[in-house]
Structure 1
């Protein structure tokens, strides 16, 4: 199996690990100031690039130790046109950075000795706007047009899959899925939910997944949940067909609500062992889930504990 065609989560029941809360780790553990909550441009600075290499290589080393696959993700979360422009990037400069991030993942995998068949390069996409505010003017058509640029860049860079994180509307999810299908690269849609166990748009997970699948002819390879805590999304799951489409979890370390969490001014790392146990319980109820990482407040400590707990329970 070549480096360009590793096995992907929807093609096997094996466990895949992925990264944690890159931005919160950089801010609170390494003291970097992130303009527009963006991390990709830090590769241009020697000191911050060194910290990023430490971060991603630590995850890859865990995957090597545990014998799992690893999905490199998240660094390009805000490397799309509008966010890039706010940081002073031209279209060409932004494309160069997206290529640079994918190549950076390759370097970290090689440094850790992660086997090619266990190395998944994911082109991470974030929402066009703020993840926690509804962009009511964004239609599926405009989302498809907007995200196609970054998706085409990922395809050219040799990414294996595209992952859209922290989506809160079906319109944007439909746009990403359609653009990815047109580009010929598998897509993953990760929704985030609120304390009422619904998307910010008011839809339940069931409604959101069934809507996207219906409008895209089941284009997403699978779905995920991110930037929420198991106490919130766990009860939203059900033993129904739509829930079987969810294969991945990237939970926040804390159960505090999004709005409050952003205003704390310090890192809430939660209890890594408790989070690992919660993941094990959810996978026991939903065995098709096989992608596990973290979001805000998590890092490689949380992911290693999760990986060990899942493998012990298998």
Structure 2
């Protein structure tokens, strides 16, 4: 029988090193189902407006800092702004000019958390700095974008330029704030990904994009994941490329023996549930999945992603799931 090391050597492209960055889990589902918080439009950014909301967010992120500390990894603090673009802000009672303020405030909030972690040199769980030196952990604040429309349904065809124009204001706020990068999560089309990358490049900010897939490994608009990745790279290659809001087995459905796209994926933020997007949308109760199954399927998928560098969770996951993915206790 081959050992893990033998297998990695025998199969080119198999992962042999550990990811470097912990990020968080399913922020919105955690808040709704575990803390009873009402989030109209699935928007978490309104919590920044109250002391109670900020305390809840601080507690949420602290758990993932503890995971990073125990895993000996860096921490990506990603803003609670998945719904903080113009259409969503207006739908929730704001005005378009609020976009800049909301996103700047979200960065300032997380920068304060990061400063505390770094200056203390101690994680919220009491462990020493990630390298054992007593120095603070490596923490980076990143700005989060969401899709213009529904994260599970591809809307009417829109050009990359139109998407770039739409996301411009939110990216501009992040660029002004000095975030390490911006990441657009749960994208359903190549055109929106291209638009985001082009807008970020024009404003001089590093950019990552993350596609979501259905149970068959295709984007919600029907594009195979590998085809979407190759098309994006040809038109506007991002600095990092992730897949999120799908169970590892759904992402693995896109795998073939010669799947070249696996060389370009640098991050995974997976769902705990094996349910489809449609089933999750209709669910009245949270499906937290089977953590053992999640870890097993994640490891199988990660073994095929030689550049995997970022690991976190998405819908239905919380700090327990992300800790399990990193093989640590919380």
TM-score, normalised relative to structure 2 = 0.85
Contact 1:57 1:111 in 2 (8 A): no
**Residue 227 of structure 1: aligned partner:** 245
Deviation, structure 1 residue 167: 0.5
Over aligned residues, Cα RMSD in angstroms? 1.8
SS in structure 2 at match of 1:285? coil
Counterpart for residue 105 of structure 1: 110
Q: Is the 8 A contact 2:153 2:221 kept in 1?
A: no
How many residues matched? 296
Q: Give the corresponding residue for 1:207.
A: 227
Unpaired segments ≥5 residues, structure 2? 1-16, 122-134
- Counterpart among 316, 319, 328 of residue 297 in structure 1: 316
Give 1:282's aligned residue. 301
| Superposition deviation, residue 116 in structure 1 | 6.7
State the alpha-carbon separation in 2 of the partners of residues 222 and 13 from structure 1: 17
Contact 2:79 2:110 in 1 (8 A): no
Matched, 1:255 2:274: yes
**Equivalent residue number for residue 60 of structure 1:** 65
Q: Distance in 1 between matches of 2:27 and 2:142?
A: 15
Candidates 261, 283, 289, aligned match of 1:264: 283
Counterparts of 1:62-101 in structure 2, within 5 Å, are 62-73=67-78, 75-101=80-106
Q: Distance in 1 between matches of 2:187 and 2:31?
A: 22
SS, match of residue 233 in structure 2: helix
Partner Cα separation in structure 2 for residue 224 and residue 45 of structure 1: 32
TM-score after normalising by structure 1 = 0.89
Of stretches 114-123 and 90-99 in structure 1, the one that deviates more from structure 2 is: 114-123
1:57 deviates by: 1.4
The whole-number CA distance in structure 2 between the counterparts of 1:87 and 1:171 is: 26
- Structure 1 residue ranges without an equivalent (≥5): 1-11, 310-314
